């Protein structure tokens, strides 16, 4: 086998220049698979139960603490219930720990500088850990806001234990509510994950030459396989069979039937009956039987401990951590210097907009700033109604959260308009503050936080992204070579190979074929994400697109050869 192709010399590749178009940052995107209704549906009973208990004791003034725990019901809805039980419990425990640290600092000292440093550090840790975890939507804005806000509230050592217990207790209620659907339909998350992959095949069928559609299908198949990895029961084989059919379309888009795929996806999600198994060949059935062996193969430390690996100095998230920390610290210090006594809002604004690359950071900045400015005036309209009674304020919080979840994956600007008054209402549970004071302070803190976040993204480049993309290409080439059906070093010119090249015979061992297919599809998904992220980081050398395209084409030929 010839040696793998090498990247072009760095000096021969153009550098990436920043693009600051406003319209892409403000427009809506299609997100038909976003199950926002599940998140909102879990929060409503979680918050209602916790607040009902407080109302029975006449202590609705403590609703701000229980609401922090109730917000945990928004997370981990894409995970199977077996995995959700563990992941959500860990999320609740870590959120409670973060809130406890903030409350302890607030009780221990009134030194604003100490509080700011601790809050900024916690915000950076939460941001990186949340993005590396598997808890899914919504983004890190909620845990960052909850943890950092509690670092600036009046707190005493005598009330510390009660407040932490309220957060943990409400979190336990959230856990029970999030797990309750398992009593009715244990395979709901798995069905939804496979349905996403089935819908992705429809897009490939309608646009066979669209690389974005094929990347999305590879990512959906990989995500569904990760979901099924935690699944037990008789329905797993049928769901895996549907994924094999999706893999067949990834290798040969001409086999797709878009309308039928969308209809089957809807039926799979809505039906409560036994899952029908699609017609498969004997070789494909053998691959399903061997898939479990592939999933049980040894994994790297980064794959087994994604959160810990994100904090490694050579991780692509390392510069990301420093960006968030510097942005949050600078924003809080400027807010404090301008006379603000609750700089957690500036910390939240700075932390939320900072993303792994500059383009994503910029696309968060305008909607965050404009949405927050509109949101504070929406708060001014509803504040008189919320001040009638704390129960009314609690109901408004739930309504605003539902609206936020409905838009967060579609239009960040509109979501920000609703999440801003939600956060301001939550800050009122501990005591009424002047609406005019809140509007002014939050407007200033939002602008300060956004500016600090963008400046941090400019000053701290993420040079690890390009290296991460190079490693992703090498992993895909290695997976393709291991399949034994394509030689990634045979021809460096992707145009010279083309579709007319016949794939080599697939491995005779079904277990080996199953492992090879999973490895190639996972590597394709990782490569698409790594290249997309690296090519959006400013003033770094572009990834060698010729080698990327060549590796992808070899991978598709290998998939076709595997049958």
The position carrying tokens 């590749």 is 13
Split into its structural domains, the chain has a count of 3
Could you read off the pLDDT of 56-114 as tens digits, one per residue?
A: 888 888 888 998 999 999 898 888 888 889 999 999 999 999 999 999 999 999 899 99
Q: Are residues 59 and 165 in the same domain?
A: yes
- The reply to whether 475 falls in a domain is yes
- The reply to whether 281 falls in a domain is no
Model confidence at 489, in pLDDT bands (50, 70, 90)? very low
Range 532-558 average pLDDT:
65
- The reply to whether 315 falls in a domain is yes
pLDDT for res 305: 73
Q: Are residues 91 and 228 in the same domain?
A: no
| 356 or 2, which is more confident | 356
Q: Are residues 204 and 57 in the same domain?
A: no
- Report whether 145 contacts 126 (CB < 8 A): no
How far apart CA 370 and CA 517 sit, in angstroms, is 46
Phi-psi region of 5 (alpha: psi -120 to 50; beta: other; left: phi over 0): beta
DSSP 480-512: HHHHTS--TTS-S-HHHH-TTSPPPPPPS-HHH
Domain boundary among 251, 271, 291: 271
Out of 19-28, 492-501, 526-535, which region has the weakest mean confidence (pLDDT)? 492-501
User: With 90 as the cut, is the pLDDT of residue 274 above it?
Assistant: no
Q: Which among 431, 562, 546 has a CA at the least distance from the CA of 5?
A: 546
- The reply to whether 51 falls in a domain is yes
pLDDT for res 3: 45
pLDDT for res 103: 95
Task: Report how far apart, in Å, the C-alpha atoms of 437 and of each of 64, 397, 427, 443, 489 are.
Answer: 20, 20, 13, 10, 65
User: With 60 as the cut, is the pLDDT of residue 218 above it?
Assistant: yes
- The reply to whether 218 falls in a domain is yes
At a CB cut-off of 8 Å and minimum separation 6, what does 137 contact? Answer: 34, 36, 39, 74, 75, 78, 408, 409
Could you read off the pLDDT of 415-433 as tens digits, one per residue?
A: 888 988 888 888 766 556 6
pLDDT for res 545: 63
Q: Which domain holds residue 261?
A: 187-271
Q: Are residues 263 and 356 in the same domain?
A: no
């Amino acid at each position: 086998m010839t040696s793998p192709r090498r990247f072009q010399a760095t000096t021969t590749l153009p550098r990436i220049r920043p693009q600051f178009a406003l319209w892409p940052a403000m427009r809506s995107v299609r997100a038909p698979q976003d199950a926002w209704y599940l998140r909102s549906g879990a929060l409503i009973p979680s918050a209602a139960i916790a607040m009902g208990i407080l109302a029975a004791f006449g202590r609705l003034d403590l609703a701000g603490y229980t609401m922090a725990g109730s917000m945990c019901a928004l997370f981990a809805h894409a995970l199977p219930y077996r995995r959700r039980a563990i992941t959500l419990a860990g999320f609740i425990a870590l959120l409670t720990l973060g809130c406890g640290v903030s409350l302890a600092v607030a009780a221990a000292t009134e030194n604003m500088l100490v509080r700011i440093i601790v809050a900024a550090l916690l915000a950076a840790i939460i941001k990186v850990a949340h993005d590396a975890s598997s808890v899914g939507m919504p983004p890190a804005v909620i845990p960052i806001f909850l943890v950092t806000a509690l670092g600036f509230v009046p707190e005493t050592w005598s009330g510390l234990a009660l407040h932490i217990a309220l957060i943990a207790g409400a979190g336990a209620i959230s856990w029970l509510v999030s797990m309750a659907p398992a009593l009715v339909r244990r395979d709901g998350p798995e069905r939804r994950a496979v349905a996403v992959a089935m819908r992705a095949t429809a897009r490939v069928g309608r646009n066979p030459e669209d690389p974005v559609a094929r990347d999305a299908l590879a990512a959906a198949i990989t995500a569904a396989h990760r979901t099924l990895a935690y699944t037990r029961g008789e329905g797993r084989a049928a769901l895996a069979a549907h994924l094999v059919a999706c893999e067949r379309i990834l290798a040969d888009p001409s086999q797709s039937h878009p309308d039928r795929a969308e209809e089957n996806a809807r039926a799979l999600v809505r039906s409560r009956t036994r899952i029908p198994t699609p017609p498969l060949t004997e070789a494909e059935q053998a691959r399903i039987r061997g898939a479990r062996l592939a999933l049980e193969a040894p994994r790297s430390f980064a794959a087994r401990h994604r959160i810990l690996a994100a904090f490694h100095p050579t991780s692509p998230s390392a510069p990301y951590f420093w960006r968030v920390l510097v942005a949050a610290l600078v924003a809080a210090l400027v807010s404090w210097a301008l006379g603000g006594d609750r700089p957690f809002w500036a910390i939240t604004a700075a932390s939320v907009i900072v993303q792994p690359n500059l383009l994503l950071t910029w696309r968060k900045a305008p909607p965050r700033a404009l949405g927050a400015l509109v949101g504070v005036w929406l708060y001014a309209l509803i504040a008189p109604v919320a001040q009638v009674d704390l129960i009314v304020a609690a109901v408004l919080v739930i309504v605003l959260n539902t609206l936020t979840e409905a838009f967060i994956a579609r239009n960040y600007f509109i979501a920000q308009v609703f999440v801003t008054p939600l956060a301001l209402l939550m800050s009122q549970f501990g005591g009424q503050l002047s609406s005019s004071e809140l509007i002014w302070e939050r407007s200033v803190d939002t602008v300060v936080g956004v500016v600090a976040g963008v400046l941090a993204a400019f000053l701290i480049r993420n040079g690890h992204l390009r290296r991460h993309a190079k490693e992703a290409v090498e992993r895909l080439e290695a997976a393709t070579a291991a399949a034994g059906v394509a030689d990634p070093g045979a021809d460096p010119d992707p145009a010279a190979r083309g579709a007319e090249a016949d794939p080599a015979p697939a491995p005779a061992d079904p277990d080996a074929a199953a492992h090879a297919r999973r490895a190639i599809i996972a590597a394709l998904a990782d490569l698409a994400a790594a290249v997309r992220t690296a090519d959006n980081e400013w003033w770094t050398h572009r990834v060698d697109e010729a080698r990327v395209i060549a590796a992808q084409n070899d991978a598709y030929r290998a998939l076709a050869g595997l049958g």
